[in-house]
Structure 1
């Protein structure tokens, strides 16, 4: 049997949101394999599928900037939320976002780019770490561009102009008037911020993730005891639902709960007298997928798992 440590139980709890005893059992059932344990929990209905991917577990800022037919989004991380309120840090994120807008989103290119101060982005980042006294990193960037139309930006709970914890870009290709595209783009961006799509279209979804969902659905369906042909239909029905719920164009618009996003875009184009195509989007949520150290329930984990965190001193006579 694998040696299940307190740290492993703690990590699985953070990833799954499941109870500690369930996490310990899952790890025992899967010989300590973290991914298999997460799937085991989900099969038993004990874990939230989106828990790990949607949580915000790092600090810093997401920056967005647009200029007509192009837009850029950048995420810069810090250790604490306090740094995100620092004027120096905010200026850095804003300048890096502008550079991404102008020069592209390759991280190596961004780090080597020259800032208004004359320093490279990497040098400025190093200086920030030294002067602010906290580790920081340029994590990711993405630029969108259309040949004709608009790229619209939106920041949820904006902390400062163009800066916040969730940044969205929506790329619309069309000959429609700019005010029409801006209004539609903002509505779509707000939907994206709230609905967290995984891809633009169903065929863009990660097939490895689809297969993982199929395996989980198959195991769940098998527990029903129904005939194989019924189980197969249940599984494929579940996968079809997964695809619709996670592809942007087939999601139901959050503002009315009944109209597909593809139909929202089609109607806007019809009303404007010019076809509008939703060609791409970006959704950056601060800390998405990053696990942050949390020690507030470490002792509880150790107590439940039976693994001591540290040897306590022997009482003296």
Structure 2
């Protein structure tokens, strides 16, 4: 049964090996290029004794490329689920070839379980190698940018992609078991995986561990450090606040000293405050920042410290593997009772 499953899977496996070989060659080249560029920047800045600006420019040079590669790797689980997982069972049910196996000594559950193990392990190896290579290639830039909790970066580094791939293949196989049609199963699997990959980082990941909450005074300097003021609902909010060595998951609206949310009229008045020619305001938001800073405001910031990174990787990987296991159990129940 294992040998038969491997033979049925050989075409997809060959395509995956070719794609992985091309990716390996490119990432090895990119990793060496990144390290050479870092050494070049360090050689220029070390005589002056301050390499902060040089390393920041080094990270900026590769930021967009690595973000694109992380997004590309983030699509790998959906592609594996669509092309490896969805046809795995649906194709046999659609063609009726499953009856040949079931009429032999192989049970339905063994048939399904062996197929899931062969393709699931193959997908985990492929995703793991791709993740390992990208993690190695990008490590000098990651050490400088320190954006490890970024939605796209987190899902393309270290062990998380392995669990994503396992879940995607099992999800695709179960969808194929339910639909019994290859093309609908492929489309539904792709859609389901993309929705989950969008929803999980925003709705689940921030709550995998209890966050830390702190208050931050919104002085003029603190407001000028933000990336934006206001929202589409015209609320009294600040965007893009950071905490050193932490992933900020939520920032409250601007609050007054007694804990109430700043009213929108006062907020709008500050946004439109004129600059005083006698004492001109500086910074990103100019007179608006000075006006808001004079109101003794603060915000509540919720964040996850960076030292929890590996625990988040383990928890999220465990969550996806648990979902894959539950789907496998459901598939084993379904194939025994509902498929004729």
Q: Using structure 2 for the length normalisation, give the TM-score.
A: 0.21
TM-score, scaled relative to structure 1: 0.22
Whichever structure has more helix as a proportion of its residues is 2
Higher strand share: 1
